[in-house]
Structure 1
Amino acid sequence: MTRLRDIAKLIRTKNAGPFQLTLDIMFPDARSYAHVVDSGVINPAAMAAFFKVDASKVRLFNYAPGNAIKVTVPRLVTSGDPADTDLFGGQQFGPLVDLEVPPLDP
């Protein structure tokens, strides 16, 4: 298997307001974008498990013109809360880079 980091050009998380977190996965071209979308590895259930939220709260957007996938989930802790360890939400993507994706055909 290939890892998401091997195919994507950019993987990042950031706040989408104090109560939401957004994940951006951008690809270098339409072929790699379509491959990951068609593989189905990025889906609401998988993202819910990854971010430890209810699947009904996951919003997933495939944006072909930008070769990008956007996922929005509720933050487990409100940004700025004393228990928040990532004020800007920029560190939440880390383990997702190892998500296994079927290899791209040469």
Structure 2
Amino acid sequence: MPETIGDLAHEVRAKNAGPFWITMELFMRNAAGYDIVADEDFLNPSVVAELYRVDAAGVRMFRIPSLNVVKISFPRPVSQGSLHDRDMHAGQHHVPLALLEIPARP
């Protein structure tokens, strides 16, 4: 089976970043895993936009090599607590990202 981000990470989590934003964090186990997810050819705003059906222009990515962490934020499709909000605390938004397959390595 192909490796996923979740396989390489210590933790992948999503959290509520206020009524209008969602933030996800990738806590990688080591520098090698961080190097994979921090690579802009692999994980970038366009990939996140496709996974979450949001506008790539609104996706913000923060790479923190000293902690082996990548943070990703984007505007919520609907405001928190509104009639069409399906995950008020953004607790399940991490799943598509955690299941993203890592490209085969030589």
> TM-score, normalized by length of structure 2?
0.89
Equivalent position of 1:2 in the other structure: 3
Q: State the SS of the aligned residue for 1:99.
A: coil
1:13 aligned counterpart, secondary structure: strand
Aligned residue runs from structure 1 range 9-88, under 5 A: 9-38=10-39, 40-88=41-89
Structure 1 gap ranges (5+)? none
Q: Deviations over 1:13-63 (max 9, x none)?
A: 111110000010111112221133237321010001111111110001111
Distance 1:20 1:50 in 2: 16
Contact 1:21 1:74 survives alignment (8 Å): yes
> TM-score, length-normalised on structure 1?
0.89
Gaps of 5+ in 2: none
**In the aligned structure 2, how far is the partner of 1:54 from the partner of 1:100?**
22
Distance 1:37 1:78 in 2: 29
- Cα-Cα RMSD: 1.6
Distance in 1 (CA, whole Å) between partners of 2:20 and 2:56 is 16
Instruction: Please state whether the residue corresponding to 1:22 is helix, strand or coil.
Output: strand
Return the offset for 1:104: 6.0
